[in-house]
């Protein structure tokens, strides 16, 4: 495939070229008004560029080079390029963003940042879907609550975590997220979880780890943390006031 970047906007040009190189996409650049090469299959330009071509054209907005490149690649593949996000839940969820069947980005972030990452990735996407594995019940339920206005599917994540070879340490959650994204799930709007004593014990232990004075919250506050009503920091603050 050959992508042609035809723009007089230096900022857009610079960002597009870097994004295309990072993605390993074959491309060439021309000035608007120049003839497109014979092997060209798609053209990317800025809003104010005048490009006369019968090829499919993607208009790149400033500061959004990845979106333009993903749109171009989806057109080249002849697919709808639906945005699908897979999440392997946990204290540091693995997050994989797919366009059609192609992985376009991946993240491994603290749970507190996961919903914001997802929202940024689905912004302006057409009919996106978020697929969350059914393991790590409390963290998964929290993500479902935080993504209440997003189409979310709960996926049976059995067998989605791959065996990791030498040098792949830390990649398991992300690779599991890719596998989760490729599985159909059941649409959910909420997930009510009754935390086990073991899960409540984990929350209490984390409260000690977060506290400067080795303070442990009580079971009532731990249940509110498990339900997503409080963060551990907020629970600690309430415990101090008590």
pLDDT (tens place) for every residue of the chain, 242 residues total: 589 999 999 999 999 999 998 877 889 999 998 988 888 889 999 999 998 888 899 999 988 898 898 888 878 776 556 789 999 999 899 999 998 888 989 999 999 899 999 999 988 776 789 999 998 888 899 999 999 889 999 999 999 988 888 777 778 999 999 999 999 999 988 766 677 888 888 888 888 888 888 888 888 888 888 776 778 888 888 888 87
Q: Is residue 13 domain-shared with residue 46, that is, in the same domain? A: yes
Listing from the earlier edge strand, what are the strands of the sheet with 3-6? 27-30, 3-6, 42-46, 57-60
- Residue 73 shares a structural domain with residue 87: no
| Number of separate helices (H) and strands (E) present in the chain | 8, 10
CA atoms within 13 A on the CB side of 73: 24
Residues 92 and 162 in one domain: yes
Residue 218 near residue 130 (C-beta atoms within 8 A): no
What pLDDT is attached to residue 192? 66
**Residues 182 and 87 placed together within one structural domain of the fold:** yes
Give every strand in the sheet of 129-133, ordered side by side: 102-108, 94-99, 83-88, 129-133, 152-155, 186-188
Start-to-end CA distance of the chain, whole Å, equals: 65
Cα–Cα distance, 102 to 195 (Å, whole number): 36
Go through the chain and tell me how many residues it has: 242
Contact status, residue 204 vs residue 159, Cβ threshold 8 Å: no
Judgement on whether residues 98 and 161 belong to the same structural domain of the protein: yes
The answer to whether the pTM exceeds 0.85 is: no
Chosen domain end from 15, 50, 77: 77
Q: Supply the pLDDT for residue 207.
A: 87
Q: What span, in angstroms and rounded, lies between the C-alpha atoms of 187 and 171?
A: 27
Residues 150 and 207 reside in one and the same domain: no
Q: SS3 for 227? A: coil
| Strands 186-188 vs 152-155: parallel, antiparallel or unpaired | antiparallel
Supply 25's token pair.
């996409």
CA atoms within 13 A on the CB side of 236: 17
Say how many domains are in the chain. Answer: 3
Domain containing 96 equals 83-188
Does 121 lie in the same domain as 72?
no
Choosing from 57, 77, 97, the residue where a domain stops is 77
Residues 178 and 227 in one domain: no
CATH code of the domain covering residue 28: 3.40.50
Last residue of a domain, one of 188, 206, 221: 188
Same domain, 95 and 174: yes
- Do residues 114 and 148 both lie within one domain? yes
- What pLDDT, on the 0 to 100 scale, is given for residue 179? 96
Q: What is the CATH number of the domain that holds 96?
A: 3.30.420.140
Give yes or no: residues 129 and 177 share one domain.
yes
- Pair 33, 93 in one domain: no
């Amino acid at each position: 495939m050959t992508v042609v970047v035809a723009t007089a906007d230096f900022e857009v040009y610079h960002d597009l070229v870097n994004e295309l190189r990072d993605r390993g996409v074959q491309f060439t650049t021309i000035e608007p008004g120049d003839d497109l090469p014979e092997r060209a299959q798609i053209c990317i330009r800025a809003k104010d560029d005048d490009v006369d071509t019968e090829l499919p054209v993607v208009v790149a907005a400033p500061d959004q080079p990845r979106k333009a490149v993903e749109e171009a690649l989806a057109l080249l593949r002849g697919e709808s390029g639906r945005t699908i996000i897979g999440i392997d839940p946990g204290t540091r969820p693995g997050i994989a963003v797919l366009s059609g069947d192609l992985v376009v980005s991946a993240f491994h972030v603290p749970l507190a940042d996961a919903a914001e990452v997802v929202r940024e990735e689905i912004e302006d996407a057409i009919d996106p879907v978020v697929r969350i594995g059914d393991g790590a019940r409390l963290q998964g339920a929290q993500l479902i609550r935080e993504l209440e206005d997003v189409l979310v599917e709960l996926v049976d994540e059995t067998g989605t975590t791959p065996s990791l070879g030498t040098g792949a340490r830390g990649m398991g959650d992300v690779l599991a997220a890719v596998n989760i994204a490729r599985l159909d799930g059941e649409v959910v709007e909420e997930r009510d979880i009754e935390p086990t004593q073991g899960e409540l014990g984990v929350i209490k232990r984390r409260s000690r780890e977060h506290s400067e004075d080795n303070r442990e919250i009580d079971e009532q506050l731990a249940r509110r943390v498990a339900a997503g009503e409080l963060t551990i920091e907020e629970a600690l603050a309430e415990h101090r006031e008590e």
